[in-house]
Structure 1
Amino acid sequence: MDWETHARCLAADTVRPESRWHAPLAAVPRHVFVPRWWANEGDRWVLRDGPADPEAWMQAAYRNRTVVTRVGPLHADDVDPGTETAAGIPTSSSTLPGLVVAMYRHAVISDDSDVLVTTGSGYGTALACRRLHDKRVTSIDVDPSLVEKAGERLESINLRPQMAVCDITGPLPGEFDRIVSTVSVRAVPASWLAALRPGGRLVTTLAETGLIITADKTADGGATGQVQWDRAGFMRTRAGEDYPHGIADRFEEIREAEGEHVTTGRYPVLNVREAWDIWSMLSLTSPGIEHRYETGENRQRRAWMVHPDGSWARVEGRWIDPPTVHQGGPRRLWDELERIRHRLNAEGGLPVYGAQVRVDPDGTTHLSRGNWSATIS
């Protein structure tokens, strides 16, 4: 297979030729890290096998897109031959190359930086190794099988970074100049600050938001930085083979439920997860809300919101018409969303992007911009 041509095209489509990341993108055989993967087809995940269809393999591996390798506890490499579909939430992937490079750029990695990265498929680790000497790269994942697979594939292309099975929210295996996490955390773990050298930088995303934060370690053991203007969404950290079941069953319970409180909404039905500013702001002010959204005939839109405290909302409307809003439980979730949408309309923007970041030595993370602030602990 002529993977080199595909890799060079990926590099050309992702960065400019003079970028220090151009050569790594052009030199890493991404297909090695995704021999099998899960392709999303509506409400199910369908298994794809690269060697069985080399053309589709090259197309999937060398596009600037995320390739999902694990759904729930099922890694595409390990499923039985008769297992052709899976249901659940992705739990590992090969992140789209452009986003991996963007996170590394935010880290401002120098030639002599010792860098901690997250493993996943191993592709992002390979890019860091090609950019630096592989001995300057440490790659960790909570899943032993992922670390083993990635390590073998890295070695097959003559890269030998330090590999470790490690919960990124706990103690880290060494000291580093840069920590770049392509899994999201609710707040910055205190262990990152302990592992960062003086002046070191961390880069991560905050869970349930699209916010990328960068912060440089300060003399008091904390860190200061900002929320970047670009955005990203990563899988959140997990401790086991899959994410906890959570409150997914609640969506079926409220799918057609009549609300304790029924009103006409001020704004049209919104797919919150695609409205990055609004979603991020809501997740900071009212964490824990899960969302569902669907469209139907004649531009019908429906959305559902649920929260672990028992609050819920069901909203339905046509296109940009004011929707009917059903709400129940101790809080009015749609009302909280509409307050944020009203602020966006009134002020022309929300304060989350570009906010200043301050991280206390214990990991408590403070965001602020103007007269707005939020604290995550």
Structure 2
Amino acid sequence: MGGDLVTLFLSGDVMLGRGVDQILPHPGDPALREAYIKDACGYVELAEAVNGPIPRPVDFRWPWGDALAVLEEAAPDARILNLETSVTQNDEVAPGKEVHYRMHPANLPCLAAARPDVCVLANNHVLDYGHRGLEETLDALAGAGLRTAGAGRDAQEARRPAIVPAGDRRIQVHSFGMASSGVPRSWAATAARNGIHFVAGPSDAAAAEAVARIRQSKRPDDLTVVSIHWGSNWGYDVPHEQIRFAHALIDGGADVVHGHSSHHPRPLEVHRGKLIAYGCGDLVNDYEGITGYEAYRDDLRLLYLVSVESGTGRLHEVRITPLHAWRMRLRHASPEDCRWLHGLFGRIGRDFGTRVDSAPDGTLIVQPA
């Protein structure tokens, strides 16, 4: 670690299934059970209709594009991402869901290209192909040497935090998913069945239980990240109960709250000197070419590099690199798009104790106000 700061890469949703899986070297069965598109290659065609041909197959680094060089230069102490897809060839789909994501296990080198230290799995797509699909997902990730949090073969494993060594300290990552993001209650892990760490909602009782788990596992020098899949897909408003819940986590010992589920960024808050990211937006998916919510600019994707004091967990700054999804690959956003994002973070963060500046290269720098 450099000096007295720890740097974390916090990623929003990484969805390597469906259309993305189809352009990789080992595409799985493209058949879908969606109402409008029955073949995953249709999502590739939508992207091509907007921005031009996509070579097939691409190499495993292709979907990450310019993001990989940014991460290499930043050299974060831990890379934490929300992996929102199952990794399986199982064909049994979860009932009652309109959309299902899976990637072929042989395409895992694509995920590994980003060198994640923790893949959080407590989300509304990791069981899209059933409990057998989750079992295969856990086996595949473990076989690739990738740490996970938020899902497991039983409740004890699903609730266990992932631990990342960071010099003479540890970074521990707790992960859970809430019903508000579309996680079915039936996906909750039990003593006898695999599943995710499910939390029904942001209640005071749920916050107290989460704090008890943090305190039980936390050592004096640990940095604790709580990663939560929660909330709706669209909109910048943060419900009061989510704010209250996040504050309770920080008050109880969490150092960073890492929220995700929304398809675009939501506000960043500094509470008692510590960071709460209510929604990090999408990072990698096959949504390019899908219309209907253009005002939210979900084609813009963000890399969050969060620097905190190693001893206290207090926020130093968040450096955000704006990227743009183009031909199912991430490239640096244009100066105009960087300015748009600067204005957005200024507006949505006004009441959350943050200020935002821009570096000459377009990087956004968010600090306590």
TM-score when normalising by structure 1: 0.31
Please say which structure displays the higher CA radius of gyration: 1
TM-score when normalising by structure 2: 0.31
Larger RCO: Structure 1 or Structure 2 (Cα < 8 Å, ≥ 6 residues apart)? 2
